[in-house]
Amino acid sequence: MNFQQLRIIREAVRCNFNLTEVGNALFTSQSGVSKHIKDLEDELGVELFVRKGKRLMGLTEPGRDLIQHVNRILLDANNIKSLAEQYSKRDEGHLSVVTTHTQARYALPPVITEFKKNYPKVHLKLDQASPDEIVSMLLDGQADIGVATEALAHVEGLDVFPYYSWNHAVVVSAGHPLEKVKSLTLEAIAEYPIITYHDGLTGRARIDQSFAAAGLETDIVMSALDADVIKTYVELGLGIGIIASMAVNPAKDSGLRLLDSAHLFGQNTTYIALRQGHYLRSFAYRFIELCSAALDEKTVRAGLKNGAATDERL
């Protein structure tokens, strides 16, 4: 048994049992992948995969049990490597952060700027993904740190820490009739077409819940992945925008008007998530602390050991 065989087993599951994709991912041939699988099955004396001809269709019962051990062994092996690098190269290495567009665009720029000043030799990889994709990347070991509002809380295998809280904001094009409304209400907003986020992104569920609780139907004429797109079409007069409050910059968004609406929608919490058992270099803890001074290394380590508390309101 060797690490390459274990990597092939793990990658086969990730690639939905497509051996060509497994070979591409591990820079080897399909025939080499098949041989490694057969050698491991012969050594263990059990079949790990359900087959249809030469195709793999899924895992057998022994295969399902084995994959849990494989993931743990490969995680531990990676942790050993990271531990060694911690002492041999304290300020060098790689840090992978995966987040949503909104966080990458509006919340993280000052954090990343300060981090790169402190750790110029660390290669920081910043991926943008949906909340569900962020969970998958963390659990698969493709990312060290995840940042999002949705999906992270209460996921088995993740430790989660509150980052910051925020509210939604209503924006309209200059001259819109709602500018004259002194105390904005959900009823007043519901009279106009609305442009906001896709389902499952940037607190969209909170928006829908607010209108539903008031017994109001809304006309969502357009949804988008990020606030910049929403603002563009609001400025063109296609509807009212409901976006994350931190996405509004009065100096840059001169064609838009921000309406006082913090009282209309519930508070959202953005979280930082880490895979349980995943070894973090010291600069990763520093990145988290730059996000929130309350999340210093001691606090995070204690949370990882005991299970980080999450905001039950999410």
Pick from 119, 269, 241, 235: nearest CA to 169: 241
Instruction: Name residues of the chain where pLDDT drops below 70.
Output: 79, 81-90, 305-314
Residue that is last in its domain, among 223, 240, 259: 259
Q: Which amino acid is residue 4, in one-letter code?
A: Q
Please report whether residue 189 resides in a domain: yes
Q: Which domain holds residue 220?
A: 168-259
CATH number of the domain within which 249 lies: 3.40.190.10
Residue that is last in its domain, among 49, 83, 117: 83
Please tell me whether residues 146 and 199 are part of one structural domain: no
Burial (CB count within 10 angstroms: exposed 0-12, middle 13-18, buried 19+), residue 109? exposed
Q: What is the pLDDT at residue 314?
A: 30
Please report whether residue 203 resides in a domain: yes
Q: What is the pLDDT at residue 279?
A: 80
Please tell me whether residues 239 and 107 are part of one structural domain: no
The span from the CA of 248 to the CA of 231, in Å, is 9
Q: Could you give the residue ranges of the DSSP H alpha helices within the chain?
A: 3-14, 19-25, 30-44, 61-88, 101-102, 109-118, 131-139, 186-190, 204-213, 227-235, 282-291, 297-306
Q: What is the pLDDT at residue 86?
A: 57
CATH number of the domain within which 55 lies: 1.10.10.10
CA atoms within a 13 Å half-sphere pointing along the CA-CB vector of 202: 28
Q: What is the pLDDT at residue 84?
A: 62
How many domains are contained in the chain?
Answer: 3
Please tell me whether residues 153 and 282 are part of one structural domain: yes
56 - beta bridge partners?
A: 51
Please tell me whether residues 209 and 223 are part of one structural domain: yes
Share the mean pLDDT of the chain: 88
Please tell me whether residues 76 and 96 are part of one structural domain: no
Q: Write out pLDDT tens, residues 43-64.
A: 888 888 888 888 888 888 888 8
Q: Are 148 and 204 in contact (CB under 8 A)?
A: no
Q: What is the pLDDT at residue 143?
A: 94
Q: What angle do CA 245, 251, 257 make, to 5 degrees?
A: 55
- Take residue 148 and report the two structure tokens written for it: 């999002």
Please report whether residue 311 resides in a domain: no
Please tell me whether residues 198 and 222 are part of one structural domain: yes
Please tell me whether residues 130 and 275 are part of one structural domain: yes
Please report whether residue 313 resides in a domain: no
